[in-house]
Each structure stands twice: as structure tokens, then as C-alpha cells.
Amino acid sequence: MNYNIFASAFFKTFNSFLSMKKIALFASGSGTNVENIIKYFNNNRSVEVSIILTNNANAFVLERAKNHSISSYIFNKHEFYNTDNVLKELKQKKIDLIVLAGFMWLVPENLINNFNSRIINIHPALLPKYGGKGMYGDYVHKAVIANGENESGITIHYVNNVYDDGEIIFQAKCLISSEDNPESLAKKIHSLEYEHYPPVIEKLLLKK
């Protein structure tokens, strides 16, 4: 055995492990975006999904975590807003970036302060339009259609203590035809989410 080659390979792998960027995914429901992000970073030597957190003990996203052998953490409203339990879990995992992927609660100050400019969200419209409390999922698409908009899209943005108010990182657009309804628009939006969210996450972490 060539021990120089072995040592070189070992230290290369060890250094890669030390420099691995770690993501925490927050979701409240099924977790289709979570699944897409997990698959995107499978076998990636620079980025890993380290933990999935949810406020819903019945969320299907927990099954996705189990299927991919990713640890999960369930919390309730009191724990989220009145304790540091979630923050401690994230620090223990040495998380570099918090990614909201269908997470419906406002992020508390303790997380925002400790992960300044390291929490991002994806919104199913072109902010600042159709943002704010209660504007998520089909509520957004119905409002966009009802107002006769000719385009919609996605907005990836940093998270602060106001719903959908953080600095915009990235936007992508899609056209709305006269035949579109909230369901068909949702499909267009999901397609944009799946295409763009993972590479934007990677770019933020690796500064590409």
C-alpha cells in the first residue's frame, strides 16, 4: 500500500468533512420542496441537509426525513416562541443556513438574531406584491388570478421579523394566460421553485 496516497486521500476527505456546509430545512406540510432540495444535494461533498424541523407532528415531511435518513425535530408554538430549544438544536448541528420550505410561522427574534442573513424563504409570487401574513399557497394564486395579473413567479428572500419583508435574493417569472386558474398557476410556480431554489441555496453557501 502506498501510504502517501492513502494519507492524502484521508486528509482530503477529512478536510472536506470539516468544510461541509450544513442546511436546516423548516416545513409545515408535505414537504415537496424539501424532497427536491434533499435530492439536489444528495452525494454533494460541500453541502448537506443536516436536519428537518417542523411545527406539525403529522406533517408528511417527517416521512421524507425518515426515508432519507435525515434527523428531524418537532416543536410546538410555546417551544418555538418562548424557549431557546430550537436554537440550541440548530447550534448543536452547526447549521450554516436555515431554509424555509413551506413553513408557515413567523420566525422568532432569537433565531433571526443568531442567524443574521442566514435564514431564507421562498414565496410563490413576485414580492412585494401578494406578500404578508396569510398570503401563502393557493391564497396567493387566487389573488393573482382575481386581480388579472399577466405574470407571477417566485421570490427567494432573506427572512426578518416581518412576513415576506426581507431583502430579495432572486426572482423568476412565469406568464399567466387567460386560461390559467389557481391550480394551473400553482403548477407553474412549483416548477420554478424546484428549478431555482436548490441552486440558489448552493450559491449562497458556496459563494459561487
Q: Which of 146, 144, 162 is nearest to 154 (CA)?
A: 144
Looking at the predicted structure, is the pLDDT value of residue 102 above 80? yes
pLDDT in tens, 153-172: 999 999 999 999 999 999 99
Asked if 159 and 189 touch (Cβ cutoff 8 Å), the reply is no
Report the alpha-carbon distance of residue 127 to residue 152 in Å, rounded: 10
Enumerate residues 6+ apart whose C-beta is below 8 A from 138: 182, 186
Provide the pLDDT confidence category of residue 4 given band limits of 50, 70 and 90: low
Cell numbers 434533499 correspond to what residue?
Answer: 38
Q: Which three cell numbers stand for residue 122?
A: 421562498
Active-site option among 123, 141, 157, 196: 123
Asked if 149 and 173 touch (Cβ cutoff 8 Å), the reply is no
pLDDT in tens, 58-91: 999 999 999 999 999 999 999 999 999 999 999 9
Asked if 72 and 52 touch (Cβ cutoff 8 Å), the reply is yes
Provide the pLDDT confidence category of residue 208 given band limits of 50, 70 and 90: low
Residue range 20-206 in CATH 3.40.50.720: no
- Tell me what pLDDT residue 18 has: 53
Q: Which amino acid is at 67?
A: N
Report the alpha-carbon distance of residue 65 to residue 194 in Å, rounded: 18
> Is the entire prediction scored with pTM above 0.75?
yes
Residue 68 bears catalytic tag = no
pLDDT in tens, 111-156: 999 999 999 999 999 999 999 999 999 999 999 999 999 999 999 9
- Tell me what pLDDT residue 8 has: 45
How many Cβ atoms are within 10 Å of 34's Cβ, its own excluded? Answer: 27
How much is the average pLDDT of 6-29?
68
Q: H or E segment at 72?
A: strand 71-74
